[in-house]
Amino acid sequence: MNKDTISAVAIDTAGIQRYVFASNKLKENIGASYIIEELLYKKLMLSCIKDAAIKLNAWEDQPDKIALLAARTRLAEVGYIGGGNCMLL
């Protein structure tokens, strides 16, 4: 692999929308959305990058830059988070 090659891991929760919206009660929808957020962002994503010395929201500081290319010591970087999806670079 080239030293400037970057791999991406995309995580998508679109398949569980039926679970989130199984009820027409707002409280239950919010609760289901919260569970998905906890699992996706706080459990799965953090476990994927726990050994990589990164700042999770570094992409917010310079969204047009890929920090992995500038700082060769980084092992991973958040590319995108939102709408039930996330991408790790």
Burial of 45 (0-12, 13-18, 19+ CB in 10 A): buried
Answer yes or no: are the C-beta atoms of 77 and 60 closer than 8 Å: no
Phi, psi of 17 (to 5 degrees): -60, -30
Residue 37 has a pLDDT of 77
Residue 30 has a pLDDT of 82
User: What is the pLDDT tens value at each position of the chain, 89 positions in all?
Assistant: 566 677 788 877 777 777 777 778 888 888 887 887 787 777 776 776 666 655 666 667 777 877 666 666 666 777 777 777 778 77
CA 31 to chain centre: 20
